[in-house]
Amino acid sequence: MPYLILAFAVLAETIGTTALQASQQFTKVGPTIIVILAYGAAFYLLGIALKYFPVGIAYAIWSGLGIVLIAAIGLVVFGQKLDLAAVLGMGLILTGILVIHLFSDTSPH
């Protein structure tokens, strides 16, 4: 259950960041409202996840997965291309998240 809560926090943050791009610097009302609601939900869910995870672990997973998902959305939705260094760096982020999950005693299993 803790990972599910954290996954929904990541999803909400990803929706908020995608809407932030779509809001065109808060000039479009619909996406701006989505930004506010999604970020509110993301931080609320992250706060709940902190009952189960140390803050460093929760934030590493939340921000790391958010980075990778937003990069994928940026590529597919907004046509923002990534170079090899960016792709390799994100691969390292995902590897770090796996190491935390598989080998850290501070992460709930």
Dist CA 67 CA 61 (whole Å): 10
Mean pLDDT of 42-67: 93
Whether 6 is covered by a domain: the verdict is yes
Quick one: pLDDT band at residue 50, thresholds 50, 70, 90? very high
Whether 108 is covered by a domain: the verdict is no
pLDDT, tens digit (0-9, with 9 covering 90-100), for 57-86: 899 999 999 999 999 999 999 999 999 999
CA 37 to chain centre: 15
CA angle 80, 63, 69 (to 5 degrees): 35
| Residue 44 token pair | 């609320």
Please provide the average confidence, as pLDDT, over all residues in the chain: 93
How far, CA to CA in Å, does 70 sit from each of 15, 31, 42? 9, 16, 14
Tell me the DSSP string of 20-37: HHHTTTTTSHHHHHHHHH
State pTM to two decimals. 0.85
Whether 109 is covered by a domain: the verdict is no
Q: What is the DSSP letter of 54?
A: -
Residue 53 burial class via C-beta count within 10 angstroms: exposed 0-12, middle 13-18, buried 19 and up: buried
Whether 13 is covered by a domain: the verdict is yes
The domain containing residue 36 runs over which residues?
A: 2-103
Total count of domains within the chain: 1
Whether 53 is covered by a domain: the verdict is yes
